[in-house]
């Protein structure tokens, strides 16, 4: 299942925030005495330190905005930092004598701009994950050195995923059914949480999709409905593995907060899972795969999917 994330709003917000932060940093570092006078007698060293921090923040924002694959969890952290700046400004405005009258107006203006960028980033995060109204998606693409046919020999045994996923305690296909439409995979994680996934499509040698049985008692994920899938494709001498999830959130957390949190865990965990699958798919002693290539298996690719 192919889907292209709409990251234009998020990239625009991140780039705009980076430019604003860089300009602010340049002014603070180059003219600390002047700015300190405007604010009401702030020490120059404090403003230089703030400017240096803003410079680092601007560099991180610019890096995020220009990456081929935007990490929305990093954009979420940027928004949280923006909101922390606004909250800190409000607290300082309530303390008598911290700002001069003109400094208070300046601080409020900056805080308003920062709040706008933080809010626009959240809107952009939501659009980057949204598939359609109320449904959101996260996808990873991992490059491995094992051939696609060998990878499918591991991935296609859908009941064996616990062998490669340390977060899982057990997994199996119920009733010993062969993988295919209608087969139900049962999974239990290390925390004792249990869920089931019904296979809805099975393309031999290519991939499969599942429907999570969200109506089962104790379903552990914050979703009213949830689907996912795996796809394997040849890529040069190796292959790429795509894993995706689409869900309608049931959490009280808004999607622009929930999806980056879920996405961060997937980005950290699943390249390792796929690397273990690649190791299982690679016969020991096969001379065409060097030790260096073994170390490169399981690369999270910087591409949208």
CATH pick for 134-300 out of 3.30.530.20, 3.30.70.100, 3.40.50.300, 3.90.1310.10 = 3.30.530.20
- For the chain, the distance separating the N- and C-terminal CA atoms, rounded to the nearest angstrom, is 9
Question: Token pair for residue 206?
Answer: 């290519």
Are 146 and 155 in contact by the 8 Å Cβ rule? The answer is: no
Report pTM: 0.89
Separation in Å, CA 250 to CA 11, 72, 150, 191, 246: 27, 20, 38, 21, 13
Whole-number pLDDT of residue 300: 83
The whole-angstrom separation of Cα 150 and Cα 148 is 5
CA 212 vs. chain centroid, Å, equals 21
3-state secondary structure at position 137: strand
Distance CA 73, CA 125 (A): 9
Three-class secondary structure of residue 25 per DSSP: helix
CA atoms within 13 Å, Cβ hemisphere of 80: 10
For position 105, what pLDDT does the model report? 96
Map tokens 């998606």 to a residue.
137
Structural domain boundaries in the chain: 8-130, 134-300
Tens-level pLDDT at each residue, the chain (305 residues): 445 679 999 999 999 999 999 999 999 999 999 999 999 999 999 999 999 999 999 999 999 999 999 999 999 999 999 999 999 999 999 999 999 999 999 999 999 999 999 999 999 999 999 999 999 999 999 999 899 999 999 999 999 999 999 999 999 999 999 999 999 999 999 999 999 999 999 999 999 999 999 999 999 999 999 999 999 999 988 999 999 999 999 988 999 999 999 999 999 999 999 999 999 987 753 434 444 444 445 678 887 78
Q: Name the phi and psi angles at 152, rounded to 5.
A: -65, -30
User: pLDDT value at position 4?
Assistant: 63
Q: Are 140 and 299 in contact (CB under 8 A)?
A: no
- The count of C-alpha atoms lying within 13 angstroms of the C-alpha of 42, restricted to the half-sphere facing its C-beta, is 22
pLDDT of residue 5: 74
What's the confidence (pLDDT) of residue 207? 97
Strand partners, 268: none
- Residues 129, 239: Cα–Cα separation, whole Å: 25
Long-range contacts of 79-86 (CB under 8 A, 24+ apart): 79/118, 79/119, 79/121, 79/122, 79/125, 80/118, 81/57, 82/17, 82/114, 82/115, 82/117, 82/118, 82/121, 83/115, 83/118, 85/111, 85/114, 86/111, 86/114, 86/115, 86/118
List the helix and strand counts (H, then E) for the chain: 8, 9
Sign of the alpha-carbon torsion through 217, 220, 225, 226: negative
């Amino acid at each position: 299942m192919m889907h292209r994330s709409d990251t234009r709003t998020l990239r625009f917000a991140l780039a705009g925030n980076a430019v604003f932060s860089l300009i602010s940093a340049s002014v603070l570092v180059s003219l600390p005495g002047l700015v300190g006078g405007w604010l009401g007698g702030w020490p120059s060293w404090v403003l230089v330190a703030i400017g240096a921090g803003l410079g680092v923040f601007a560099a991180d924002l610019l890096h995020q905005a220009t990456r081929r694959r935007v990490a929305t969890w990093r954009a979420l952290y940027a928004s949280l930092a923006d909101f922390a700046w606004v909250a800190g400004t409000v607290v300082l405005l309530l303390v008598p004598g911290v700002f001069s009258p003109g400094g208070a107006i300046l601080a409020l203006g900056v805080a308003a701009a920062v709040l706008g960028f933080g809010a626009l980033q959240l809107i952009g995060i939501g659009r980057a994950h949204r598939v359609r109204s109320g449904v959101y998606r996260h996808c990873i693409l991992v490059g491995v050195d094992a051939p696609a046919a060998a990878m499918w020999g591991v991935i296609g045994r859908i009941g064996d995923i616990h062998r490669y996923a340390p977060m899982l305690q057990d997994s199996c296909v119920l009733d010993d059914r062969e993988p295919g439409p209608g087969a139900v995979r049962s999974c239990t994680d290390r925390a004792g949480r249990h869920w089931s996934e019904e296979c809805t499509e099975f393309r031999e040698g290519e991939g499969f999709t599942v429907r999570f049985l969200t109506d089962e008692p104790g379903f552990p994920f914050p979703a009213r409905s949830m689907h996912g899938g795996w796809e394997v494709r040849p890529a040069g001498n190796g292959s790429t593995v795509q894993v995706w999830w689409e869900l309608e959130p049931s959490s009280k957390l808004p999607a622009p907060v929930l999806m980056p949190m879920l996405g961060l865990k997937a980005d950290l965990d699943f390249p390792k899972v796929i690397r273990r699958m690649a190791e299982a798919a690679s016969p020991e002693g096969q001379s065409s795969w060097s030790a260096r290539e073994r170390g490169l298996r399981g690369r999270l690719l910087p591409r949208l999917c």
